[in-house]
Amino acid sequence: MTKAELPVSRRQLGWLAVMLLTPILLVSVAVTQVPPKPGHTAMDALLGWSVLGAVTLVLLTMLVMMARRHAIDIDDNVLVVRHSLYTLRLRRADVGALHLRRVTSRNELGLGLRTNGIAACGYYSGWFSGQRGERVFCAVSTWPAYLVTVEGNARCRRLALSMSAEVAQRVARWAPPA
């Protein structure tokens, strides 16, 4: 079994943190600046701050998961990509061949709509549709990335992965011989 880490851009994670936490900060400022309504008790304020704290904790947990979960596991039967909140399992039995192409920009990925994923500040994680409606799994947080086209019976026919050239070679060798 081969296990490798996918590269993660700290700058992109920083921007994601700003995007997630800015609304919380704005709500906190608004809550402290707005005068209480008549009949507003200390328990009402405590409840509000508790809800705000819980939401902040959930968002921080998501951010930590996004920062720590970025690996690819390759064994004889399956290729598993774990990236932020999303996982792809590709069975070797469903793969006829793999074609890898190095890409240097988002435009080369051929992404259409985000169907279940994250697309922010150059960070792409999860499920997208391609320009022709095909399913695309993205785990892109640094450039260059590799566009992997899958032939065979796999449900996902395209993968976009940030990975080193060495890991890309391992992925290419994993495919059954043509």
Q: Is residue 1 part of a domain?
A: no
Residues 96, 168: one domain? yes
Residues 52, 76: one domain? no
Q: What is the pLDDT of residue 120?
A: 83
Residues 117, 136: one domain? yes
Total domain count, the chain: 2
> Would the pTM count as exceeding 0.95?
no
pLDDT of residue 10 exceeding 90: no
- Asked if 107 and 91 touch (Cβ cutoff 8 Å), the reply is no
Residues 168, 130: one domain? yes
Give the domain-ending residue among 68, 83, 115.
Answer: 68
Residues 46, 120: one domain? no
* Other C-beta atoms lying within 10 Å of the C-beta of residue 25: 11
Handedness of CA 171, 175, 177, 178 (dihedral sign): negative
| Helix/strand/coil percentages in the chain, nearest 5 | 40, 35, 25
Could you read off the pLDDT of 140-170 as tens digits, one per residue?
Answer: 989 889 999 999 999 899 999 999 999 999 9
Residues 64, 84: one domain? no
Residues 26, 101: one domain? no
Could you read off the pLDDT of 72-96 as tens digits, one per residue?
Answer: 999 999 999 999 889 999 999 999 9
End-to-end CA distance of the chain: 22
The tokens for 101 are 């192409």
Give the domain-ending residue among 68, 89, 105.
Answer: 68
Q: What is the pLDDT of residue 8?
A: 81
Residues 28, 43: one domain? yes
Domain that holds residue 102: 71-174
Q: Is residue 4 part of a domain?
A: no
